[in-house]
Structure 1
């Protein structure tokens, strides 16, 4: 696959659950909603998709169901990260067999590996898969940061082509070391346009679960040179971003989707329902945005 994997807004899609398992019919409907409403890529089985609570068989089944529903219309990027390198290799190979176009691989967590261990972890996964790999750097969740020095070394690996960066303060240093050897995607909805100003190709978005066309339009406005429109839209979306992260993701976004009638079900333990106070806060914020596309599609 040629770089970039996508430009614009890739939705970090939630996984719809029932009390007994994955709601595959609803997953297919979510995919159709996102394609109809201009999401530029589907990111499946990431942190927003609660992959950490899925056994391997279910994890790969969800990827396969998403790939089948997308049917080649936009890229599918599958989360395959693990803090066990061999497990990460296994998930990556199975995701490719399931048809994923690219892999999103989060840093190992809990183990607290050294920079050398981090480099070897990613190299091992890349060496055992031909698929394009998007590194996922989210120190707030993993307590591990991919430093610019490690990224400089990883840039020599042919199929490591991009990074979803949530530690945006280090992006200028990464650019000074790596130049254009990586494509950047913002992992923060509230800073998507600022990262684009540094050469970012887009955002991997939580908010796009609710406002996919808004997020895509915002990013393409910047990429097409309408910086004022993009800036104004970035400012406009900030209250929604704050609401979607008032508790641990994906609790608020699933709550919002259920309020809007999208019927994505609960989160899995150890995530649980949000407080009644935050439920009311999310509902109030939702009322201030145009969610007519959701209502039209989901009834």
Structure 2
């Protein structure tokens, strides 16, 4: 699989739960089908937005199998397997491959804050152990450890390390790596979709796409079609929803699930330690979403 075969319009899908807190398999299938039908050509499962720290290994594998059954070959499935433990990460990677994932999403190990040679060894060990292509997820705000540009350049030599989900907020380093490698870059932060496309990124992995998949896809499509001013308008139209969902005090998982529930789509509660959005926050999210929908329909 080439990196582009991951797709370009990827959604970091929430993991739906039942009201009792169990994995909602049927809900996950319905949500996945909904997202793919509205322009997502790839789904990232069990990532940050998918509440991976609070789902079990068995739930992660069940989710992959169920979503594959729902979407077939209409979308690629990328499995989040990042943990603080290389041994556990390897186990999840092999289980994801067995369950039917097309690729892996892997963070730097968190909490222990390993130095760069250990970060590199972690990625290489996983890449050597599986046949699946691997996306490096660079999100130092959550892991506490940056995948430094020189480390990324060395990792790019591995034939199965093919892509980056970029939440580094370092456009200079991103441009350097894009200029010197064949890595496919995906904007991992919704407010950076258009800026990263403009410097050569392949696409995005979006949390906001859970609730507005077509509108997020419009940024990509208008950028491809030109002129650039159309893509700018599409990105700016999304900005109020991006800001409300991603830049406030609540994690994107919480805001996405609140809005999905308000829209009657599968979502369910978040798992502790996360807490649900308040009724007022949910109303505000819904108001912003409806304004975006009205603008898109005009």
* TM-score computed with the length of structure 2 as normaliser: 0.93
Q: 1:290 aligns with which of 289, 293, 296?
A: 293
2: distance between equivalents of 1:174 and 1:208? 23
Give runs of aligned pairs for residues 204-223 of structure 1, distance below 5 A: 204-223=205-224
CA contact (8 A) 2:41 2:74 kept: no
Task: Count residues with an aligned counterpart.
Answer: 292
2: distance between equivalents of 1:192 and 1:99? 28
2:62 aligns with 61
2: distance between equivalents of 1:154 and 1:286? 39
1:25 aligns with 26
1: distance between equivalents of 2:221 and 2:172? 22
1: distance between equivalents of 2:60 and 2:293? 33
1: distance between equivalents of 2:130 and 2:219? 33
1:12 aligns with 12
2:111 aligns with 110
1: distance between equivalents of 2:55 and 2:4? 29
Q: Secondary structure at the match of 1:108?
A: coil
1: distance between equivalents of 2:56 and 2:76? 24
Q: Secondary structure at the match of 1:290?
A: helix
Runs of 5+ unmatched residues, structure 1 = 294-299
Q: CA deviation at 1:278?
A: 2.4
Q: Which runs of 4+ in 1 moved over 4 A?
A: none
CA contact (8 A) 2:237 2:292 kept: no
Q: CA deviation at 1:172?
A: 2.8
Q: CA deviation at 1:174?
A: 4.1
Runs of 5+ unmatched residues, structure 2 = none
Q: Secondary structure at the match of 2:5?
A: coil
Farther off after superposition, 19-28 or 185-194: 19-28
Q: Cα RMSD between the aligned structures?
A: 1.8
Deviations 1:58-117 (A, max 9, x none): 111111111221211111111111110011111011101111111111111101100111
Q: CA deviation at 1:228?
A: 1.7
1:98 aligns with 99
Give runs of aligned pairs for residues 151-166 of structure 1, distance below 5 A: 151-166=152-167
Farther off after superposition, 261-270 or 174-183: 174-183
2: distance between equivalents of 1:150 and 1:270? 33
* TM-score computed with the length of structure 1 as normaliser: 0.93
